[in-house]
């Protein structure tokens, strides 16, 4: 009887062992230990980040795969507070947001570039030859020239190919 009471008390103590607290480290990684639900973990991570936490789905899949072969006592669900770091660490959501932001920036860049070209073309003196050159973020060089109400655009790409278009 004594062995049963002692063994059940020992079992009770080990089953009530506390899990580590949910934590945020200095570089923005959030570790949620208190649940196995990704939706609940996301809510807790958002609160710990103070705004948006990005789910590291590749880390989660790797951890589930490792769990099959080497059981972990306190598995965590990982998030990151920083968009750039989360995209680098394998968050599909963060990568998509980052790519949309980059695409929007390029669209704005090319729109502004076109508007600048049109303003310069309209303001060019028809009796003089005027030109200017720009370098794109990818390293391509664009040269615009205006003379006698005509304009030409020359693009030299990073691999050395050149193309000229005139009105």
- Residues 28, 87 within the same domain: yes
User: 112 and 31, same structural domain?
Assistant: yes
- Angle (nearest 5°) at CA 58 between 52 and 60: 80
Which pLDDT does position 12 carry in this prediction? 46
**Sheet of 29-32: strands edge to edge?**
23-24, 29-32, 77-80, 54-55
With respect to residue 82, please indicate whether it lies within any of the assigned structural domains.
yes
Same domain for 107 and 152: no
pLDDT at residue 64, rounded to an integer: 67
Indicate if 47 and 99 belong to the same structural domain. yes
Cβ pair 151, 167 in contact under 8 A: yes
Helices marked H in the chain: 2-15, 38-49, 57-69, 83-89, 92-123
Do 79 and 153 share a structural domain?
A: no
Question: Are both 114 and 129 inside the same structural domain?
Answer: no
Residue 160 has pLDDT above 60, yes or no: yes
Q: Residue 66's domain spans which residues? A: 16-123
What pLDDT band is residue 6 in, cutting at 50, 70 and 90? low
> With bands split at pLDDT 50, 70 and 90, how would you rate the model's confidence at 101?
very high
108 shares its domain with 129:
no
Q: Do 83 and 117 lie in a common domain? A: yes
- For residue 11, is it within any domain? no
- What pLDDT, in 10s, does the model give residues 25-80? 667 788 888 777 888 888 888 888 888 888 887 777 777 666 677 776 667 788 88
Tens digits of per-residue pLDDT, 106-141? 899 889 988 887 887 777 777 788 888 888 888 889
Does a structural domain hold residue 35? Answer: yes
The DSSP letter of residue 128 is S
The whole-angstrom separation of Cα 157 and Cα 162 is 6
Question: pTM of the prediction?
Answer: 0.59
Tell me which H or E stretch contains 56. none
- Same-domain check for residues 61 and 84: yes
Instruction: Indicate whether 34 and 107 sit together in one domain.
Output: yes
Domain count, the chain: 2
- Average predicted confidence (pLDDT) for the chain: 80
Same domain flag for 97 and 129: no
């Amino acid at each position: 009887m004594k062995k049963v009471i002692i063994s059940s008390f020992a079992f009770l103590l080990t089953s009530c062992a506390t899990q580590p607290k949910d934590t945020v480290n200095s570089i923005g990684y959030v570790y949620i230990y208190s649940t196995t639900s990704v939706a609940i973990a996301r809510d807790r991570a958002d609160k710990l980040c103070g705004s948006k936490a990005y789910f590291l789905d590749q880390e989660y899949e790797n951890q589930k795969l490792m769990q099959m072969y080497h059981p972990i006592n306190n598995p965590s669900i990982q998030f990151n507070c920083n968009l750039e770091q989360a995209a680098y660490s394998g968050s599909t959501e963060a990568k998509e947001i980052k790519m949309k932001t980059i695409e929007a920036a390029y669209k704005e860049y090319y729109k502004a570039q076109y508007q600048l070209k049109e303003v310069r073309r309209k303001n060019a003196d028809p009796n003089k030859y005027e030109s200017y050159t720009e370098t794109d973020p990818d390293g391509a060089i664009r040269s615009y020239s205006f003379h006698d109400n005509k304009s030409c655009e020359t693009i030299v790409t990073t691999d050395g190919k050149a193309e000229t278009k005139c009105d």
